[in-house]
């Protein structure tokens, strides 16, 4: 059984750049995909945003949109608020309940859902789909880490749209769901 407290501790220790540093090139691919596919989107939300570097990459290309994100890492959220001036909040998946239906044009996550157990996924997917017009997930497809879960994306209506390539430990795919 997953030790959720242990997972949370692992992802809340250390400086934001240390946690976020691995796989930055792969994460750039999900940002490039989002910018290419949704250049006229007016709002973006990242679930598991760390310090908001992905949001900031997209904001550089689409500057006039609304950008928001949540993460469990308080150090990273503080860094993103201070340095990137983004609308970020320390929160977990339960915070998704507070958003209105269709609150965002694009909701995305990058290598977050693989670290959550299967029993948690139906509620998370339902909320991500409820608050978004489009959901993009970049997640691993080969289990090479502890506390790592490969979910059945298709059963939640997602389509595999592109391989994002190999990160430090995992091969990543980009999955898409549209209303």
Per-residue buried b or exposed e for 147-157, using 16+ beta carbons within 10 Å of the residue's own CB: eebebebeebe
Residue pair 116/149 in contact (Cβ under 8 Å)? The answer is yes
Q: Mean pLDDT in each 10-residue stretch from start to end of the chain (179 residues)? A: 49 49 67 95 95 94 97 90 94 94 95 74 90 86 58 80 67 85
From the number of C-beta atoms within 10 Å of its C-beta (0-12, 13-18, 19+), residue 39 rates as exposed
Q: Determine the pLDDT at residue 161.
A: 87
- In 3D, which of 113, 106, 78, 100 has the Cα closest to residue 179? 106
Residue range 4-178 forms a domain whose CATH class is alpha beta
Residues written for the chain = 179
**Which DSSP letter does residue 100 get?**
P
Q: Determine the pLDDT at residue 49.
A: 92
What CA–CA distance (Å, rounded) separates 32 from 175?
14
Q: Determine the pLDDT at residue 13.
A: 55
Q: Which pair of structure tokens corresponds to residue 62? A: 């689409």
H or E element: which one contains 111? none
Q: Which pair of structure tokens corresponds to residue 107? A: 């909701």
Q: Which pair of structure tokens corresponds to residue 80? A: 């993103």
Per-residue buried b or exposed e for 89-125, using 16+ beta carbons within 10 Å of the residue's own CB: ebeebeebeebeeebbbbbbbbbbbbbbeeeebeebb
Q: What is the pTM of this model?
A: 0.83
């Amino acid at each position: 059984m997953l030790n959720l407290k242990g997972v949370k501790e692992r992802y809340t220790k250390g400086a934001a750049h240390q946690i976020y540093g691995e796989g930055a090139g792969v994460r750039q691919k999900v940002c490039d995909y989002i910018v290419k596919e949704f250049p006229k989107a007016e709002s973006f939300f990242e679930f598991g945003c760390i310090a908001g570097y992905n949001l900031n990459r997209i904001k550089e290309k689409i500057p006039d949109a609304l950008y928001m994100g949540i993460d469990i890492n308080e150090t990273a959220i503080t860094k993103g608020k201070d340095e990137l001036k983004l609308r970020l909040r320390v929160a977990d998946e339960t915070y998704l309940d507070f958003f209105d239906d269709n609150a965002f044009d694009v909701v995305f996550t990058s290598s977050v859902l693989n670290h959550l157990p299967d029993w948690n996924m139906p509620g998370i997917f339902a909320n991500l789909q409820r608050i978004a017009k489009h959901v993009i997930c970049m997640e691993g497809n080969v289990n090479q880490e502890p506390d790592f879960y490969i979910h059945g994306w298709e059963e939640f209506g997602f389509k595999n749209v592109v391989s994002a390539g190999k990160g430090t430990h995992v091969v990543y795919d980009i999955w898409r769901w549209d209303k």
